[in-house]
Amino acid sequence: MMTEVVHVDLGERAYDVHVGPGLVAQAGEMIAPLLRRPKVAIVTDENVAKLHLDALVEGLKASGITSVSLTLPAGEATKSWPHFERTVEWLLEERIERSDVIVAFGGGVIGDLVGFAAAVVRRGIRFVQIPTSLLAQVDSSVGGKTGINAPQGKNLIGAFHQPSMVLADTEVLGTLAERDFLAGYGEVVKYGLLGDVDFFQWLETHGPSVSKGDLSARIRAVQHSVSMKADIVVRDETEQGDRALLNLGHTFCHALEAATGYSDRLLHGEGVAIGCALAFELSARMGLCSQEDPSRVRAHLKDMKMKVDLSDIEGDLPDEDALLNLMGQDKKVVDCKLRFVLAKGIGEAFVTSDVDPEMVKTLLRDALGTRSG
Ligand code: GLY
């Protein structure tokens, strides 16, 4: 089966994202041209190491590349100062040089943490992303946002550091738990909703095959998502404007994640899906898009057996005032004003600060009411 290549055209920081099956096994031949000496440092997590580290090490060996590896605990708590410090010191202990390449092998947590370590060790070392979750393949491995969480909020410490290559092995997705896969799918749907109604329509038809494991449908979904992200990142690498479109659903999502303690009660991609549904509902109430649009968004998410409503989140949620207050912690707050990504229709998102907080509060009250009713 064909590997697709998406070029991220960022001048001297340009790189390719390869999407297809078998890329972990081919990692050696893919990475070899980047190396000055045949040695790489791999950072991964316990879950990925168990399933795929041997295959990666063998894939590198096949091209004469030796590797050292560091395995961190799996989970969001790893994106923190202690594990960051450990990673940085390990890279220095292993005498990883400025001209070497570090491999981030895992989901979004590993990609963000390792990318940030690569950005600062010896003032910047190149790194390759080998994302193993759907969310990391379609979003976090591409575009150069790296970092860790602070006690004050998620992703508040970090740097822009573009990878030198991304290898999105679609076969690896076969080992994901269904819940994790569907959470990543939340980000895939987001691309259709924010900028491509034809892609959304394609997902309405083919989403179930993507979810069931049809490899060519998976390659198409990942490749299309990555190429949309690449286009936006090339237009606005450091998020001065258009890149904020990628945050469709995220203002609501971040409040819900904070309200659920960044726990298993709500995975990030699940929050994005619920947040997209709320963003379309808000857009319809503000008369920006038709009433049919939020229904169509919800229908697709329900078809995919994803979380759509606040009632799909287990346990209690705070009231609408508390949720609105949590939104105020969002990174996108400018001059104390909330910024939302709203839509004029499916595939027509835009960024605005022109939203009446009372309207958001009413929306949340209704959404919470549906929950208890
Ligand atoms: N995940 C949003 C961005 O990369 O800008």
Atom of ligand 1 nearest to the CA of 142: 4
CA of 257 to the centre of ligand 1 (A): 17
Per the CB < 8 A criterion, the answer to whether 139 and 108 are in contact is yes
pLDDT tens-digit readout, 114-160: 999 999 999 999 999 999 999 999 999 999 999 999 887 889 999 99
Active site residues: 123, 145, 187, 229, 239, 243, 247, 250, 254, 268
CA of 140 to the centre of ligand 1 (A): 7
Q: Is 139 in the pocket of ligand 1 (CB under 6 A)?
A: yes
Per the CB < 8 A criterion, the answer to whether 218 and 367 are in contact is no
CA of 148 to the centre of ligand 1 (A): 14
Integer angstrom CA distances of residue 175 from 132, 146, 193: 9, 25, 27
Q: Is 118 exposed, middle or buried (CB count within 10 Å of its CB: 0-12, 13-18, 19+)?
A: buried
The answer on pLDDT for 246 being more than 80 is yes
pLDDT tens-digit readout, 252-296: 999 999 999 888 999 999 999 999 999 999 999 999 999 999 999
The answer on pLDDT for 330 being more than 80 is no
Q: What is the pTM of this model?
A: 0.95
* Residue ranges of domains in the chain, CATH in brackets: 4-174 (3.40.50.1970), 178-372 (1.20.1090.10)
Atom of ligand 1 nearest to the CA of 239: 5
pLDDT given for residue 373 in this prediction: 44
Atom of ligand 1 nearest to the CA of 143: 4
